[in-house]
Amino acid sequence: MGDIGAANRSRPFATIGVMNFAPLKNDCFLRACLGEATDFTPVWLMRQAGRYLPEYCATRAKAGSFLGLAMNVDYATEVTLQPLERFPLDAAILFSDILTVPGAMGLGLSFEAGEGPRFARPLRDEAAINGLAAPDLDQLRYVFDAVASIRRELNGRVPLIGFAGSPWTLACYMVEGGSTADYRQIKSMLYARPDLLHRILSVNADSVAQYLNAQIDAGAQAVMLFDSWGGALADGAFQTFSLAYSARVFAQLKRVGPDGQVVPRIIFTKGGGLWLADMCNLVCDVLGVDWTVNLAAARDLLARNLQQQTAAPGAPVASGAATPTALQGNLDPAVLFASPEVIRSEVRRVLDGFATLSGAPGALRPAHVFNLGHGVNRLTPPDHVACLVDEVHAWSRHLRGA
């Protein structure tokens, strides 16, 4: 840690306040998010820190519980870095959970072993919903402290992604009280009392925006919204109850961090492939897609959209453009249960699919961030993840003729 100070003394752009982190050595992920050309395709994985890693299970056992792990700055730092010690990933993601925000709103969050999250006081009546308010960010200080601690420990190796749940996905847990198979409570509210759901979503959107801005202030170099349950909505309802509130979050986000660098904004909507054209209107940089999406078609859609946003064909897209410049995804996580040969060929299939861009020569080319279409399954062999990461780097360099 002693060398961070030395590195920073020669840093050209001093950061404000106490934040003074080492310069970034690998900016491939950040560049791809902003649609810039890179030497290879950057890769990171949703749930890259988790139970498939024996070292994660060991740290979790020491911490006693999932929340004990996530709320302790040293443990959160340790598990965030674990996958990076094993694999040459191009980004780190803060170790935390989307449900910390409703937890801090006083809903009584717990994680029962083997049962997933539970809220002791789910939102079921009008009085509770009217009383809902954005949390005091001081209650989430442990998250911002973890962000700063991870940045220090990363020492500029790769960028750090901060994250939050989308207003809709958080509302699902807040109203259902936990995970749900049928969304009965929240969808009953959506159709019977949409005014109540709109109130929850408004509070969530403003809370999430404040929360992400505080993560940016603490050192997060990209931010991601997880709309894990957007795909459960009907067409029309998705636009009204999920997309509109994600847009409300993005509208409030800081564009640059304290170091003056642009902070890319990512949204992942599980099951959102049918609505990619709607999502192209979001003021964000990266659309995360699951394995049901045809990457070549999605890339063409983004390219057409980019073309319409720039005056001259072939002109560079100004960073900060109000249109997504990259796609993130989308290997089926179940591929990681197959043999190394199959994993490598499926990785190549995803990379080749993205590389196939039809349309006019000189068309704007959105960039690709490799990821899974959802989180790493807990029964995944870690060696298979190593194989995936290696193939993404090797084949994407090969495709660029390197």
Rule CB under 6 A: say whether 260 interacts with ligand CP3: no
Q: Which of 21, 22, 24, 60 binds ligand CP3 (CB under 6 A)?
A: 60
Rule CB under 6 A: say whether 50 interacts with ligand CP3: yes
Number of residues that bind ligand CP3 (CB under 6 A): 21
288: which 2 tokens?
């995360």
Our answer to whether residue 9 is catalytic in this structure is: no
Name residues contacting ligand CP3, limited to 348-377 (CB under 6 A). 375
Rule CB under 6 A: say whether 269 interacts with ligand CP3: no
Upstream peptide bond of 330 is cis (omega within 30 degrees of 0)? yes
Helix residue spans in 234-339 (DSSP H): 237, 244-252, 276-279, 295-309
Query: CA-to-CA distance for 79 and 3, rounded, in angstroms?
Result: 22
Per DSSP, the three-state class of 116 is strand
Query: Per CB under 6 A, which region of 40-48, 141-149, 249-257, 340-348 contacts ligand CP3?
Result: 40-48
Q: Which of 228, 305, 325, 380 binds ligand CP3 (CB under 6 A)?
A: 228
Rounded least distance, CB 376 to ligand CP3, Å: 8
Our answer to whether residue 60 is catalytic in this structure is: yes
Per DSSP, the three-state class of 332 is coil
Query: CA-to-CA distance for 278 and 275, rounded, in angstroms?
Result: 5
Rule CB under 6 A: say whether 51 interacts with ligand CP3: yes
77's CB contacts (< 8 A; 6+ apart) are 95, 146, 149, 150, 153
Rounded least distance, CB 179 to ligand CP3, Å: 5
Rule CB under 6 A: say whether 183 interacts with ligand CP3: no
Query: CA-to-CA distance for 343 and 72, rounded, in angstroms?
Result: 35
347: which 2 tokens?
């990785």
Q: Which of 54, 64, 108, 116 binds ligand CP3 (CB under 6 A)?
A: 116
Q: Which of 29, 163, 168, 241 binds ligand CP3 (CB under 6 A)?
A: 163
Q: Which of 24, 32, 34, 46 binds ligand CP3 (CB under 6 A)?
A: 46
Our answer to whether residue 97 is catalytic in this structure is: yes
Which member of 56, 173, 211, 245 is catalytic? 173
- The gap between the terminal CA atoms of the chain, to the nearest Å, is 35
Q: Spell out, one character per residue from 81 to 100, where the chain touches ligand CP3: x when CB under 6 A holds, - when not.
A: ------------x-x-xxx-
Helix axes 73-86, 382-399, angle to 10 degrees: 60
Which amino acid is it at 295? L
Beta carbons of 90 and 158 less than 8 angstroms apart: yes
The residues facing 383 across adjacent strands are none
Rule CB under 6 A: say whether 47 interacts with ligand CP3: yes
- Nearer to ligand CP3 by Cβ, of 216 and 364: the residue is 216
Which member of 27, 97, 227, 259 is catalytic? 97
Our answer to whether residue 11 is catalytic in this structure is: no
Query: CA-to-CA distance for 4 and 22, rounded, in angstroms?
Result: 6
Query: CA-to-CA distance for 163 and 19, rounded, in angstroms?
Result: 20
Query: Per CB under 6 A, which region of 47-55, 139-147, 275-283, 355-363 contacts ligand CP3?
Result: 47-55
Residues that bind ligand CP3 (CB under 6 A): 46-51, 60, 66, 93, 95, 97-99, 111, 116-117, 163, 179, 226, 228, 375
